Amino acid sequence: MPRAVPVTNWLTNRRRVLASGAVLAALGVVGSACGESAPKTPAVEELITPLDQARHDGALAAAAAGAIGIPPQVAAALTVVATQRTAHARALATEIARAAGKLASATSETSSSSPSPTDPASPPPPPPPVSDVIDSLRTSAEEASRLVTKSSGYRAGLLASIAASCTASYTVALVPGGPSI
């Protein structure tokens, strides 16, 4: 009895499979070349907010550490936070200057600004509570974490380090009932 279905040659099928595979590979190469490019480094302006936050956090922690009647271990933790945030401000200023092409000027900048006294007879404002420092560090960590996703390379590492440091400071070092408070 004759067969109703024609038998195809094995080589013909193999050639078709190989040709189809080659076409798919070529399309894959062409398609990947037309895809999105690598993420751009964020503009220098996006680093201004973390720089301002680092300076603010450093000043806030230093002021809170100088409060009268604060336990020594809390003052020590706040001093460490102030030192770390000042170092973050220096690193961010250096990165901003590097990206702008002005590396030499970043290292000579000072991050502290002295407020001008409005009334010499008025008493200085009271030191901020530790909860204000914690809230400020939380905000700084969230902002740095948000920028990490838009960054790459050294800048992403710097921002991730800042986010981790701020998070560790407000969740471990300054948490009420924690190791220092």
Unique residue bearing structure tokens 């009334």: 119
Q: Tokens for 67, please give them.
A: 């409060």
Kindly report, residue by residue over 62-114, the tens digit of the pLDDT: 999 888 888 888 889 999 999 999 999 999 999 999 888 775 544 444 444 44
Q: Is 159 within 8 Å of 181 (Cβ atoms)? A: no
The set of residues, in sequence order, having a beta carbon less than 8 Å from that of 111 and lying 6+ positions away, is 54, 55, 58, 86, 89, 90, 93
Sequence ranges of the domains in the chain: 44-104+128-172
Q: How far apart are the first and last CA of the chain?
A: 94
| pLDDT greater at residue 15 or residue 149 | 149
Q: How many Å apart are CA 54 and CA 89, to the nearest integer?
A: 5
Burial group, residue 92, by CB count within 10 angstroms (0-12, 13-18, 19+):
buried
Q: Which fold has domain 44-104+128-172?
A: Ferritin (1.20.1260)
Kindly report, residue by residue over 63-72, the tens digit of the pLDDT: 998 888 888 8
Burial group, residue 155, by CB count within 10 angstroms (0-12, 13-18, 19+):
buried
